[in-house]
Amino acid sequence: MSISITANILTMIFCAAVLVQSMRMMRNLRTVKDGALTQVVTALEKATTEARSVLFDLKTTLSSDCMVNAKLVEEARSLRDELQTIVSLADGTAERLIAAVGAANEAHGAQGEGDILPETHDETKTDQVTA
């Protein structure tokens, strides 16, 4: 046997060994790939389920809280409108009182009795009376 035939036989043995190893490696990679893919799908399914649960809870919370807040806002708006009406009535009453005091001052001023001043509420006097 010559060296070339021995080298060719040795090369064929190495090629067969490489083919066997590549088949084993492909089988192992396929197993890892399928196993990892299954784990990824399982994790995604679990995350999707949890996300749906959280979204449902959030939707429930927002629907109830939004309705409560909408009612409170509507009540606040109606109170604001009432207060605006009360303030405008009080402004009109104050203007009429000022006009009446001014007319009374003019009427008494013409008679020479002096100005009529509106009475002011003195808290110190009421505190002394009740004490």
Reported pTM: 0.39
Per-residue pLDDT band at 42 (split at 50, 70, 90):
confident
Direct distance between the N- and C-terminal alpha carbons of the chain, in angstroms, rounded to an integer: 135
Convert the pLDDT of each residue in 78-131 to its tens digit.
999 999 999 999 999 999 999 999 888 888 877 765 555 555 555 554 444 443
77-80-81 Cα angle (round to 5): 90
* pLDDT winner (highest mean) among 17-21, 62-66, 125-129: 17-21
- Does residue 116 sit in helix, strand or coil? coil
